[in-house]
Structure 1
Amino acid sequence: MTTDFESEAEEFDEGPSKSQRKRDMHVLQDLGRELTELKASQLAGIELPDELREAIIEIERIRQREAKRRQLQRIGRLMQLVDGDDIAAQLTAIKSQGTLSVQRQHVIERWRDELLSDDNDALSRFITEYPDTDIQHLRQLIRQANKKQPHEKATTNSRKLFRYIRDTLAQND
């Protein structure tokens, strides 16, 4: 035999508390805010309903603070209609691509700096690590980048060397 108190308790236990629903809503709003900070090309790679995509794009033209806040709330409400975990996973993948890109840039810059330094072994290490390198062309680029020239010309030659290293690393991936 159930009492009135037990039947009332069962009614209240049917879903998450109001506080939990608010926390979930804030998480979705934060996820929506992260989506608004993406570049258009990155946003295009994420599967979103059209209405949500339009709301995210629309926030860029809004300048007033209060209007932006309301738009973010609207995005948060629209986020409830989609799988937040799926979007978060896609967003994480985009961020990790950016991290890998930065790491790759650092590797290329390190090689360029080593090749331009007075370290004679740097060229040997590079050729050993990347055997299909055009050695003659690489030496020419290093020589041009090391020449005493006006600043613009030196920068241009350094960029050419950077691009060659980047392309060589990309061929070996």
Structure 2
Amino acid sequence: MARAAINITGTGEKFDFVSLGGTEVTCYRQGVGVYCVTGTLGMVPFPPLDQGWGYGLHPSDNPAEVDIAFDDGLLTVTVTKEGKPYDLKVMITLHILVPDRPPQAELPAPEIDPVAAAQTQIAHLRAEADYAIAPLQDAVDIDEGTETELATLKAWKKYRVALNRVPEQEGYPLAIDWPAAP
């Protein structure tokens, strides 16, 4: 068995559900102040209220009284106020037990298209090269590039040409000799 928490609104709708186990929990409003929950194994047993398990009313619904019964797979929550059936104005949070999740089969690793993976890597490395080349090319274009900038620009451009030639390598796309960035 695993723990779960469900928030039920005054109309009987499931507002939120958090589970460490099964997820097939439903709820509905049977009548004024009567809420039914299916798919549980009952409430988390008391104690420990100090650990937040049991139930909790939204502050707008306090000081309503709550009675909870579990019989034949049906969890029934009855809410009264001053002895009369009372529809929740906001919600109640129930801490319930649910079946453990079945063991998950290990999924096979997704098949990766080697051509697509290589092209993605080339595009990524090409974008890095373009980013490095742009300011160097600007400096050269306006005749303000230093000899170091010119040499660096040529190195990046050679690298970019080598990237463009990766698909021509023998063994591509399974065996790639990636060029080294400057």
* TM bracket, shorter-chain basis: under 0.3
Higher strand share: 2
Higher helix share: 1
TM-score after normalising by structure 2: 0.24
Q: Which fold has the larger relative contact order, with Cα–Cα distance below 8 Å and residues 6 or more apart in sequence?
A: 2
TM-score after normalising by structure 1: 0.24
Which structure is larger by alpha-carbon Rg, 1 or 2?
2
